[in-house]
Structure 1
Amino acid sequence: MPDAEMTALLQAVLDEVCADIPAWDTATRERIAARLRDVVRSGRSSVDELKQAGRGALIRAPTMWP
């Protein structure tokens, strides 16, 4: 479980990346949040890396296969 500082950073990045996403589109927010968690688990946690990963998740369509 991330500490409070990392949680705040992830929330801030998620809010920034999803700023133009409608409030009802929770599936997109969940997909981006999952990508951010994956990035942190892989050991990358700089603000730039998180923003890049979040934006990448936003523009890539979800698929059934990894």
Structure 2
Amino acid sequence: MFDPATTALLRAVLDEVCENVSCHETGARTHIASKILEAATDGDTTPDRLKEVGREALSGVPTMWR
């Protein structure tokens, strides 16, 4: 479980990375969120690193989710 500040950071990073992803693309958003969450769980909690992880996940999203 993350503290409220970290949770807010994770949400902000997800929103920024997914700004051009339709809200109806739940599969893509879930994939990106899981990668960001995984990084945070592993200790990567800096905004820049989380954004990088999110962007890498976005580029790896299967095209059927985009």
TM-score (norm 1): 0.89
Q: Which has the higher contact order (CA 8 A, sep 6+)?
A: 2
Following superposition, the deviation at residue 61 of structure 1 comes to 3.5
For structure 1, the 5+ residue unaligned runs are none
1:42 aligns to 2:42 (yes or no) = yes
The CA RMSD over aligned residues, in Å, is 0.9
1:1-66 to 2 correspondences below 5 Å: 1-62=1-62
For structure 2, the 5+ residue unaligned runs are none
Greater helix fraction, Structure 1 or Structure 2: 2
What one-letter code is carried by the residue in structure 1 that aligns with 2:15?
A: D
TM-score (norm 2): 0.89
Residue-by-residue CA offset, 1:18-49 (whole Å, 9 max, x unaligned): 00001110111100110011101111110000
Number of equivalent positions: 62
Using the alignment, how far apart are the partners of 2:52 and 2:61 within structure 1? Answer: 16
Q: Which 4+ stretches in 1 moved above 3 angstroms?
A: none
